[in-house]
Amino acid sequence: MTPADKTGEDTGKPGRPVVVGVGNLLMGDEGVGVRLAQLLQGYESLPADVYELGTGVSGLMSILPNRRLALILDCAYMGEPPGSLVWFTPKQVRDRKEQLRWSLHHGSILESLELIQRLGCAPRRLLIGGIQPLNVKPGLGLSPLLERKLEEYARLVVEKLASEEGSR
Protein backbone atom coordinates (compact mmCIF):
# COMPACT_ATOMS: atom_id res chain seq x y z
CA MET A 1 0.00 0.00 0.00
CA THR A 2 1.43 3.37 -0.95
CA PRO A 3 1.12 6.50 1.19
CA ALA A 4 -1.33 7.84 -1.40
CA ASP A 5 -3.55 4.75 -0.94
CA LYS A 6 -3.50 5.26 2.81
CA THR A 7 -4.48 8.90 2.60
CA GLY A 8 -7.04 8.31 -0.12
CA GLU A 9 -5.27 10.91 -2.25
CA ASP A 10 -5.61 8.90 -5.45
CA THR A 11 -8.79 6.96 -4.82
CA GLY A 12 -10.98 9.79 -3.64
CA LYS A 13 -12.13 7.55 -0.75
CA PRO A 14 -11.36 8.54 2.81
CA GLY A 15 -8.09 6.91 3.86
CA ARG A 16 -7.35 4.78 6.91
CA PRO A 17 -7.45 6.35 10.36
CA VAL A 18 -4.13 7.67 11.52
CA VAL A 19 -2.58 8.37 14.90
CA VAL A 20 0.30 10.87 14.92
CA GLY A 21 2.59 11.60 17.86
CA VAL A 22 4.59 14.83 17.80
CA GLY A 23 7.08 16.42 20.18
CA ASN A 24 10.71 16.59 21.16
CA LEU A 25 12.35 13.78 23.12
CA LEU A 26 15.13 16.15 24.18
CA MET A 27 12.80 18.43 26.13
CA GLY A 28 11.36 16.27 28.90
CA ASP A 29 7.56 16.02 28.82
CA GLU A 30 7.52 17.76 25.43
CA GLY A 31 8.24 14.29 24.05
CA VAL A 32 5.15 12.62 25.45
CA GLY A 33 3.35 12.47 22.09
CA VAL A 34 6.39 10.81 20.57
CA ARG A 35 6.72 8.24 23.35
CA LEU A 36 3.03 7.44 23.13
CA ALA A 37 3.18 6.94 19.36
CA GLN A 38 6.22 4.70 19.77
CA LEU A 39 4.28 2.61 22.27
CA LEU A 40 1.27 2.40 19.96
CA GLN A 41 3.45 1.33 17.03
CA GLY A 42 3.90 -1.93 18.93
CA TYR A 43 0.13 -2.56 18.97
CA GLU A 44 -0.16 -4.81 15.93
CA SER A 45 -3.95 -4.97 15.87
CA LEU A 46 -4.48 -1.22 16.06
CA PRO A 47 -6.92 -0.27 13.25
CA ALA A 48 -4.91 2.77 12.26
CA ASP A 49 -1.59 3.85 10.83
CA VAL A 50 0.69 5.23 13.53
CA TYR A 51 3.29 7.89 12.78
CA GLU A 52 5.80 9.39 15.16
CA LEU A 53 6.82 12.71 13.62
CA GLY A 54 9.00 14.07 16.38
CA THR A 55 9.53 17.76 15.71
CA GLY A 56 8.91 17.38 11.99
CA VAL A 57 5.42 18.75 12.37
CA SER A 58 5.26 19.94 8.78
CA GLY A 59 5.04 16.24 7.91
CA LEU A 60 1.40 16.45 8.98
CA MET A 61 0.71 17.96 5.60
CA SER A 62 1.89 14.73 3.95
CA ILE A 63 0.13 12.36 6.32
CA LEU A 64 -3.27 13.86 7.10
CA PRO A 65 -4.93 14.75 3.80
CA ASN A 66 -8.16 12.87 3.15
CA ARG A 67 -7.97 10.60 6.18
CA ARG A 68 -11.21 9.29 7.63
CA LEU A 69 -10.01 10.01 11.14
CA ALA A 70 -6.87 11.56 12.59
CA LEU A 71 -5.78 11.63 16.22
CA ILE A 72 -2.82 13.88 17.01
CA LEU A 73 -1.01 13.34 20.29
CA ASP A 74 0.98 16.22 21.71
CA CYS A 75 2.13 17.91 24.85
CA ALA A 76 -0.23 20.83 25.48
CA TYR A 77 -0.44 23.57 28.05
CA MET A 78 -4.18 23.73 28.70
CA GLY A 79 -4.44 24.90 32.27
CA GLU A 80 -5.29 21.35 33.37
CA PRO A 81 -3.61 19.32 36.14
CA PRO A 82 -0.29 17.80 34.97
CA GLY A 83 -0.80 14.42 33.38
CA SER A 84 -4.33 15.17 32.15
CA LEU A 85 -5.26 13.98 28.67
CA VAL A 86 -7.92 16.12 27.02
CA TRP A 87 -9.41 15.55 23.56
CA PHE A 88 -10.32 18.64 21.56
CA THR A 89 -10.80 19.78 18.01
CA PRO A 90 -8.81 22.65 16.49
CA LYS A 91 -11.95 24.80 16.50
CA GLN A 92 -12.28 24.43 20.25
CA VAL A 93 -9.01 26.18 21.02
CA ARG A 94 -7.04 29.29 20.29
CA ASP A 95 -3.27 29.03 19.97
CA ARG A 96 -1.57 31.41 22.40
CA LYS A 97 1.69 31.10 20.49
CA GLU A 98 0.50 33.20 17.58
CA GLN A 99 3.86 34.90 17.39
CA LEU A 100 5.27 31.64 16.08
CA ARG A 101 3.07 31.51 13.00
CA TRP A 102 4.62 29.35 10.35
CA SER A 103 7.77 28.66 12.18
CA LEU A 104 8.49 25.43 10.36
CA HIS A 105 10.68 23.87 12.94
CA HIS A 106 8.44 24.52 15.87
CA GLY A 107 5.73 23.81 13.37
CA SER A 108 2.34 25.25 14.00
CA ILE A 109 0.04 22.28 14.23
CA LEU A 110 -3.06 24.40 14.15
CA GLU A 111 -1.94 26.32 11.08
CA SER A 112 -0.89 23.13 9.30
CA LEU A 113 -4.39 21.84 9.91
CA GLU A 114 -5.94 25.07 8.68
CA LEU A 115 -3.90 24.87 5.50
CA ILE A 116 -5.01 21.30 4.83
CA GLN A 117 -8.60 22.26 5.51
CA ARG A 118 -8.52 25.24 3.16
CA LEU A 119 -7.08 23.03 0.45
CA GLY A 120 -10.15 20.88 0.82
CA CYS A 121 -8.35 17.72 1.88
CA ALA A 122 -8.72 17.77 5.66
CA PRO A 123 -9.43 14.54 7.54
CA ARG A 124 -13.15 13.99 7.97
CA ARG A 125 -12.68 14.02 11.73
CA LEU A 126 -9.66 15.26 13.62
CA LEU A 127 -8.99 15.30 17.32
CA ILE A 128 -5.98 16.46 19.27
CA GLY A 129 -5.11 14.52 22.38
CA GLY A 130 -3.39 17.12 24.51
CA ILE A 131 -1.40 15.98 27.52
CA GLN A 132 -0.66 18.58 30.17
CA PRO A 133 3.08 18.40 31.00
CA LEU A 134 4.72 18.57 34.37
CA ASN A 135 8.21 19.52 33.15
CA VAL A 136 9.28 20.90 29.79
CA LYS A 137 13.00 21.58 29.94
CA PRO A 138 16.17 20.35 28.23
CA GLY A 139 16.80 16.71 29.04
CA LEU A 140 15.95 13.19 27.99
CA GLY A 141 13.06 11.32 29.55
CA LEU A 142 9.54 12.10 30.72
CA SER A 143 8.68 13.15 34.23
CA PRO A 144 7.87 10.14 36.44
CA LEU A 145 4.22 11.22 36.43
CA LEU A 146 3.83 11.05 32.66
CA GLU A 147 6.06 7.99 32.36
CA ARG A 148 3.74 6.11 34.72
CA LYS A 149 0.69 7.12 32.74
CA LEU A 150 1.89 6.11 29.26
CA GLU A 151 0.04 2.78 29.22
CA GLU A 152 -3.11 4.51 30.42
CA TYR A 153 -2.81 7.10 27.63
CA ALA A 154 -2.35 4.29 25.10
CA ARG A 155 -5.54 2.64 26.36
CA LEU A 156 -7.40 5.93 26.03
CA VAL A 157 -6.21 6.30 22.43
CA VAL A 158 -7.38 2.78 21.59
CA GLU A 159 -10.77 3.54 23.16
CA LYS A 160 -11.04 6.84 21.31
CA LEU A 161 -10.27 5.12 18.01
CA ALA A 162 -12.97 2.53 18.70
CA SER A 163 -15.60 5.06 19.74
CA GLU A 164 -14.92 7.40 16.83
CA GLU A 165 -14.92 4.58 14.30
CA GLY A 166 -18.03 3.05 15.87
CA SER A 167 -19.96 6.27 15.60
CA ARG A 168 -19.28 6.94 11.92
Partner 1 sequence: MAETVNIQVDHITRVEGHGNIVLRARDGHIEKLEWQVPEAPRFFEAMVKGRSWQDIQTVVSRICGICSVSHSLAALKAVEAAFGMEIPPQMQRLRLLCHYGEQLESHSLHLGYLVAPDLLGQKSVLPLIESHPDLVRAVMKAHSTGNRWMEVIGGRMTHPVRLKVGGFTKLPTEEELVSLRTLLEECLPALEVMADALHDLADRLPDFRRETEYVALVRPGEYTFYEGHIGSTDTEETVPPAQFEKVANEYVSPQSTAKWARWHRESYMVGALARFNLNGEYLLPRAAATASKLGLEKGNCNPYWNNIAQMVECVQVVEDGIRLIDALLEEGLDEQSRTVPVTPRDGEGAAAVEAPRGILFHRYRFDSRGFCIGANMCIPTNQNHANIQKDFEKLVPEILDRDQEEIRLMLEMLVRAYDPCISCSTHYLDVTFV
DSSP 8-class letter at 138: S
Q: Does 74 bind partner 1 (CB under 8 A)?
A: yes
Least spacing, CB of residue 154 vs partner 1, in Å: 20
98-117: contacts with partner 1 (CB under 8 A): 99-111, 114-115
119 in Cβ contact with 67 (< 8 Å): no
28 in Cβ contact with 137 (< 8 Å): yes
Q: Does 22 bind partner 1 (CB under 8 A)?
A: yes
> C-alpha 113: how far from its chain's center?
11
Q: Does 92 bind partner 1 (CB under 8 A)?
A: yes
| Of residues 140, 7, 12, 124, the one with CA closest to residue 69 | 124
Residues that bind partner 1 (CB under 8 A): 2-3, 22-27, 30, 52-59, 61-62, 74-79, 88, 92-97, 99-111, 114-115, 118-119, 128, 130, 133, 136, 138-140
